[in-house]
Amino acid sequence: MAEPILFVNGEYRPLSQASVSVLDQGFLLGDGIFDVVSAWQGHVFKLDQHVDRFFQSLQATGIRPRLTKGDWKEAILETVRRNDLQDASIRFIATRGVPQGIIADPRHHEATTIVWAAPYIFLADDEGRRRGIRLMLSSLRGFTPDTLDPRYKSLDRLHFQLARLEAVDAGYDDLLWLTRDGYVAEGPASNVFMVTGGTLVTPGREILRGITRQTFIELAAELDIPVREADLTPYDLFNADEVFTCSTAGGALAVREIAGRTIGANAGAGTPQVPGPITRALDELYWRKREAGWHGTAISAG
């Protein structure tokens, strides 16, 4: 395989030459933000929305890269082109960069900027996508607004990694964490929906309001499926007809078990159908529209 090409501080470099300083604040402190966008069959999905969200985090953190929104979009598209990818997962990053002194003043910096494109990544393997995944309820909690608003997509992901280790070591595929008040929040890389009585329900606070999450709300409207936001406890998920997570990495992913409870077992006699009918209908519509270039920005130049 050809060596990957990355965009680093205004230049396109092969991976072996794509480096940043060990003094970079993103490395030393997790002082940076990122976003992830995906391409499918030659089109980047909702590129404008992802870049807009990225700039909201830039504004909130006070990180000031010299690139405009248009510059970032072109860097993302050109990085995908240079790697000759049609289906891709693209991560773009801005850190506060290298400090001007040993005692760093966060106001004085020159941001580090990076775009990295790789072949498209699914959050679950083939079996997980076909049969549904098993979720653990983590003992950890996500960021809360009185510490770091969860709308920041920050590079500080240690708690995400610790939660993933907890889940994988316990034999689960992924996890959900709760708010301090005991309500369901989200997963480290996904939002969560449940179906009850034909209605789609999703948490609405102390979460990253994902772009894929909003996409599935839009798709539900197209299929005349009612949607509402609500405070949910694990009890609600245990008794749901269907549960699925959603993310940039693969659309909707059906959940067959949470903390040892089989999802859908209370919906009727027999073995629960996973994915359930609403999860399946939404996911099929999502991929059908993506393959048609819905909300897509063409990778090809011109």
What are the structural domain ranges in the chain?
Answer: 5-119, 126-290
Query: Would you list the DSSP string of 202-226?
Result: E--SSS---HHHHHHHHHHHHTT--
Q: What is the mean pLDDT of the chain?
A: 94
Q: Which residue has the higher pLDDT, 40 or 265?
A: 40
Task: Decide if 246 contacts 223 (C-beta within 8 A).
Answer: no
pLDDT value for 17: 96
pLDDT value for 290: 96
The residue with tokens 């999703």 is 202
Cis peptide before 277 (omega within 30 of 0): no
pLDDT value for 239: 96
Q: Has residue 302 got a pLDDT over 60? A: no
In this structure, which topology does domain 5-119 adopt according to CATH? Answer: D-amino Acid Aminotransferase; Chain A, domain 1 (3.30.470)
Q: Express each pLDDT in 270-295 by its tens digit.
A: 678 889 999 999 999 999 999 999 99
Share of the chain above pLDDT 70, in %: 97
Say how many CA atoms lie within 13 Å of 243 toward its Cβ. Answer: 32
pLDDT value for 271: 74
What is the pLDDT confidence band of residue 7, given thresholds at 50, 70 and 90?
very high
What count of other Cβ atoms lies within 10 Å of the Cβ of residue 184?
26
Task: Decide if 25 contacts 99 (C-beta within 8 A).
Answer: yes
Rounded Cα distance, 265 and 9, in Å? 52
CATH architecture label of 126-290 = Alpha-Beta Barrel (3.20)
pTM: 0.94
Say how many CA atoms lie within 13 Å of 35 toward its Cβ. Answer: 26
Which positions ≥6 away from 142 have C-beta within 8 Å? 150, 159, 177, 179, 185, 186, 206, 207
Q: Which residue has the higher pLDDT, 185 or 142?
A: 185
pLDDT value for 141: 87
Q: Has residue 71 got a pLDDT over 90? A: yes
Q: Long-range contacts of range 179-182, CB-CB < 8 Å, 24 or more positions apart?
A: 179/141, 179/142, 179/144, 179/205, 179/206, 180/141, 180/144, 182/233
Q: Express each pLDDT in 85-128 by its tens digit.
A: 999 999 999 999 998 877 778 888 899 999 999 999 998 888 88
Q: Express each pLDDT in 23-47 by its tens digit.
A: 999 999 999 999 999 999 999 999 9
Same fold, 5-119 and 126-290: no
Task: Decide if 54 contacts 33 (C-beta within 8 A).
Answer: yes
pLDDT value for 270: 63
pLDDT value for 192: 98
Q: Express each pLDDT in 250-263 by its tens digit.
A: 899 999 999 999 99
